[in-house]
Structure 1
Amino acid sequence: MLNFIYYPVSFILWCWHKVFGFVLGDDNAIAWILAIMFLTFTVRGIMFKPFVNQVRSMKKMQEFAPELKRVQKKYANDKQRQAAEMQKLQKEHGVNPLGSCLPMVLQIPVFIGLNWVLRSFTNKPLDQKTENYFFDHAGVESYVNAKLFGVNIGDAIHHASVLGGTGGGWNWNVAPVAVPLMILASVLTHLTARHSAARQAATATEAQPQAALMQKLTMYIFPLGVLVFGAFFPIGLLVYWLSNNGWTLMQQRLVYTRIDKEEAAKKAEAKEKRDALAPKPGAKPKPGAKPVQPKNETKTESTDEENESSANGQQSNGKRSPKAGSPHRFAQQGQRPQGSGGQRKKSAQGGKNSGQKGSGQKRR
């Protein structure tokens, strides 16, 4: 039923076994382990671009996480409207919340296919097994005879029938080889998840409940699952899990470093553009260029200029400017000193008496 998965996985494994079997020998367990590891690297190399897209999607989610949080607060009582607004915001930013799960989802068929192919080598007696997908009888015999520290790489601590095994109880002789691989695979799974979670801002995980849930699963549940259920995995499948997480950790470091350099280059380029447009210290303004002034200062200066121009205009026309405080806009005169007023009064009276005297003399 799943031959469309089994045949490609078997073909890639067959190709790499031919390469390393030519150098180390077909029955060598190291050749089979290297073939399984490079099968993993081949699949992960094919999925490199989706992984980069996943990292960029996570970066975008961090950028607009505050907006998502505002939407959640705004429509806290209307979950339907909240979901619609969040989907709209994600569409505007070009972010797919399921994009971060895509590389992991793509690895599930490979895991299932490799598990089935490895178990198919030994699910029947060797004299009844003529082929295993791309492997012929000689290939099956080579796999069965390959031993690592006296343990066949197709053996498991327990061949659970649920996972495709043939049953048969516990094989504790496999534990000295399987348990160290289980522990190492569990630790690498946790380190990979922790390294990925360290890149995500707290606001992004709060705004995206799916991302927060997936983060907890990958950091704690998956490593624990490898440690517990690894007892039911063949040695070859544990090698796949170990090499897969080792590749992921290395790939994360390389991709994150590259993206950080790209962002630093963009920031430096934007700063250079701002510095190029800004005037240099001590540089004179260009002819005709108007200095940029704040609105309040410009308004105040223009008012002062209008007052000065009006005052100059009135002085040039020979008119006195009205003094402030006069409601009729007449010039207010100051109080005259009493001494001068008394002199003027006396002079006025003296003039009157002199005039009267003069007129009386004429009549005579």
Structure 2
Amino acid sequence: MFQAAAWLISQFYNLTSDYVSAIALVAVVIMMLIFPLTLKSTKSMLEMQRVQPEMKRLQNQYRNDRQKLNEEMMKLYQEHKVNPLASCLPMVAQMPIFLIMFRVLRHLTLLGSDGTFNPGYISKTSKLYMSLDKSKEMLSVGLDLSLTPIKAIQASPGKGVVYALLVIVLMGLYFVQQRMIASRTVSPTMSASQQKIMQYLPVFFGLFQLFFPVALVVYYISQTIVRIAQQQYITRRFYRGEHSLGQQAQAASAKAREIAKQDGSGGGGIFGQMKQDLAKAKEQPKNVSKPSPTVSKRVTPPKGGATPAKGKPTPPNRPKPSGQSRHPKPPRG
């Protein structure tokens, strides 16, 4: 897989003879290949949102019976032909691609002990390899793609501003993409704290890019631009018209949020369910009768003549000795 990704970059470099163009074209191709999965997952997510009021009703009805709740939820999914796992397809597909491209681009931009490139995963006869082999810079559009923004700023603050601007552009694109998604898909199970975390994720991700080669920043910028265009297409396809699937899903989500407020759960997904379980535990009566101590049922007395601690045992009947009584009667006068 690493060789295949490097080969794709090499082929685009053969066409353009430019590193930035080759990396950007690879990002476009990958996003276009994943787009059918994105469409499928978006449709599945909207169908899930459309049945959320019914899901909330079932959760309230069977809140004390998890097994029955799972059975009813499965019936609901089958009735509406909803696959709850389909919305995870793009994430499952993109994670290995993300790791592969990260490693390939890192190996293309790593400098050896002699301060020159020794590209990995690509053929030594390729044009890309020969352009990088024994070179000290990966120059394109006036930038050294092997430099990290933080090193570029430290080496030359004036020139490093351009590298920092690329990171700022990436964070801005992430914000645009996230707002596009959040404006139409507000989950009734997402708490306010979770929404704030999602808002600041682009900042954290952008700050991480200060410590990675600019080649990766170029790849992520290209990828995010394509993703924004895809989100615009999704908005037109699923949210246009009052009776569209997206509009129905938004109305159902609003209804589910009202049900959650009336129920007092307030959403929150797994964390909300944990809060409900804790609340139920607190509602249980505190004055629970303590179990009575176990009383020994031993019949024979223990060795050493010790008697049980609880109560006085009835002495066993001993046979009277034959002959004279222990207490003789006084003599008669």
Bin of the TM-score, shorter chain as denominator length = 0.5 to 0.7
Give the AA of the match of 1:12.
Answer: L
Give the AA of the match of 1:9.
Answer: A
Once residues 247 and 215 of structure 1 are traced to their aligned partners in structure 2, the CA distance between those partners, rounded to angstroms, is: 26
Once residues 135 and 33 of structure 2 are traced to their aligned partners in structure 1, the CA distance between those partners, rounded to angstroms, is: 26
* CA distances 1:282-326 after superposition (whole Å, capped 9, x unpaired): xxxxxxxxxxxxxxxxxxxxxxxxxxxxxxxxxxxxxxxxxxxxx
Superposition deviation, residue 107 in structure 1: 2.1
Structure 2 match to 1:246: 225
Superposition deviation, residue 227 in structure 1: 2.5
Structure 2 match to 1:61: 48
Give the AA of the match of 2:9.
Answer: L
Kindly indicate whether structure 1 or structure 2 has the higher relative contact order, using CA contacts under 8 Å at least 6 residues apart. Answer: 2
Structure 2 match to 1:9: 5
Give the AA of the match of 2:199.
Answer: Y
Which of 124, 129, 145 does residue 112 from structure 2 map onto? 124
Helix, strand or coil at the partner of 2:63: coil
Q: Does 1:154 align with 2:139?
A: no
Once residues 139 and 41 of structure 1 are traced to their aligned partners in structure 2, the CA distance between those partners, rounded to angstroms, is: 23
Q: Does 1:197 align with 2:182?
A: yes
Q: Does 1:256 align with 2:235?
A: yes
Number of residue pairs the alignment of both structures matches: 239
Checking the alignment, whether the CA contact within 8 Å between 2:102 and 2:216 is kept in structure 1 is yes
Alignment of 1:1-364 (within 5 A): 4=1, 6-21=2-17, 31-121=18-108, 122-125=110-113, 131-136=119-124, 137-141=129-133, 144-148=136-140, 151-157=143-149, 175-200=160-185, 202=186, 205-206=187-188, 209=189, 216=195, 219-260=198-239
Helix, strand or coil at the partner of 2:208: helix
Checking the alignment, whether the CA contact within 8 Å between 1:132 and 1:140 is kept in structure 2 is no
Task: From the superposition, tell whether residues 143 and 182 of structure 1 become closer, same or farther in structure 2 (CA, over 3 Å).
Answer: farther
Structure 2 match to 1:290: none
* CA distances 1:139-158 after superposition (whole Å, capped 9, x unpaired): 42398543257541011145
Helix, strand or coil at the partner of 1:47: helix
Superposition deviation, residue 44 in structure 1: 0.8
Checking the alignment, whether the CA contact within 8 Å between 1:182 and 1:226 is kept in structure 2 is no
Structure 1 match to 2:290: none
Checking the alignment, whether the CA contact within 8 Å between 2:9 and 2:23 is kept in structure 1 is yes
Give the greater-gyration-radius structure (CA).
1
TM-score (ref. length: structure 2): 0.61
Query: Is there any run of 5+ residues in structure 1 with no aligned partner, and where?
Result: 22-30, 160-168, 267-364
Helix, strand or coil at the partner of 2:235: helix
Give the AA of the match of 1:183.
Answer: I
Superposition deviation, residue 170 in structure 1: 6.3
Superposition deviation, residue 68 in structure 1: 0.9
Task: From the superposition, tell whether residues 140 and 87 of structure 1 become closer, same or farther in structure 2 (CA, over 3 Å).
Answer: farther
Structure 1 match to 2:317: none
Checking the alignment, whether the CA contact within 8 Å between 1:144 and 1:152 is kept in structure 2 is no
Superposition deviation, residue 186 in structure 1: 1.5
Helix, strand or coil at the partner of 1:77: coil
Superposition deviation, residue 103 in structure 1: 1.5
Give the AA of the match of 1:254.
Answer: Y
Give the AA of the match of 1:198.
Answer: S
Alignment root-mean-square deviation, CA: 3.5
Task: From the superposition, tell whether residues 112 and 82 of structure 1 become closer, same or farther in structure 2 (CA, over 3 Å).
Answer: same
Helix, strand or coil at the partner of 1:132: coil
Once residues 40 and 100 of structure 1 are traced to their aligned partners in structure 2, the CA distance between those partners, rounded to angstroms, is: 22
Once residues 135 and 44 of structure 2 are traced to their aligned partners in structure 1, the CA distance between those partners, rounded to angstroms, is: 42
Moved more, 8-17 or 108-117: 108-117
Checking the alignment, whether the CA contact within 8 Å between 1:9 and 1:110 is kept in structure 2 is no
* CA distances 1:104-135 after superposition (whole Å, capped 9, x unpaired): 33222222222222221324257875552124
Query: Is there any run of 5+ residues in structure 2 with no aligned partner, and where?
Result: 246-333
Helix, strand or coil at the partner of 2:133: helix
Helix, strand or coil at the partner of 1:196: helix
Helix, strand or coil at the partner of 2:121: coil
Checking the alignment, whether the CA contact within 8 Å between 2:118 and 2:134 is kept in structure 1 is no
Q: Name the one with the larger helix percent.
A: 1
Superposition deviation, residue 65 in structure 1: 1.3
